[in-house]
């Protein structure tokens, strides 16, 4: 049996902003249902799936070094976002377009400085 994959070593890169990930969450893609019911529909409404999907959002908590500027990524136009998941190998890199929608950081005395950022994904997620 293969060893379980761990998140150790996961990184995120966006608009010249690369961070070591402490935790990451992807809301997952969603797809709308389109109501196709009409006046002659009987008993139950009918639906078809949309051809388009919403790629979702990514929230990341990262190790903040103090030299990352929030201005560069938050003001960037839509840019590529690359998540390199912990274990190196096939299928461990996700790339798509995104825009940063939020940023914050914190530092407590004698504790690891951390930051959080959120990204709205746009387009197809390419897995390599």
Q: Which helix (H) or strand (E) holds 72?
A: helix 71-75
pLDDT score, position 2: 60
Q: Which helix (H) or strand (E) holds 61?
A: strand 57-63
- C-alpha distances in Å from residue 4, one per residue of 7, 24, 92: 10, 17, 14
pLDDT score, position 54: 93
Q: Give the integer Cα–Cα distance in Å for 101 and 108.
A: 24
In this prediction, what percent of the chain has a pLDDT beyond 70? 91
Q: Give the integer Cα–Cα distance in Å for 30 and 46.
A: 19
pLDDT score, position 108: 86
């Amino acid at each position: 049996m293969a060893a379980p994959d761990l998140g150790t070593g996961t990184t995120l890169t966006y608009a010249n902003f690369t961070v070591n990930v402490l935790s990451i969450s992807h809301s997952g893609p969603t797809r709308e249902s389109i109501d196709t019911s009409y006046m002659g529909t009987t008993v139950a409404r009918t639906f078809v799936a949309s051809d388009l999907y919403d790629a979702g959002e990514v929230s990341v908590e990262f190790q903040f070094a103090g030299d990352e500027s929030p201005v560069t990524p938050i003001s960037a136009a839509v840019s590529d976002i690359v998540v390199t998941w912990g274990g190196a190998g096939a299928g461990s890199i996700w790339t798509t377009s995104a825009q940063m929608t939020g940023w914050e950081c914190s530092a407590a005395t004698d504790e690891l400085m951390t930051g959080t950022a959120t990204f709205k994904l746009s387009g197809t997620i390419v897995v390599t």
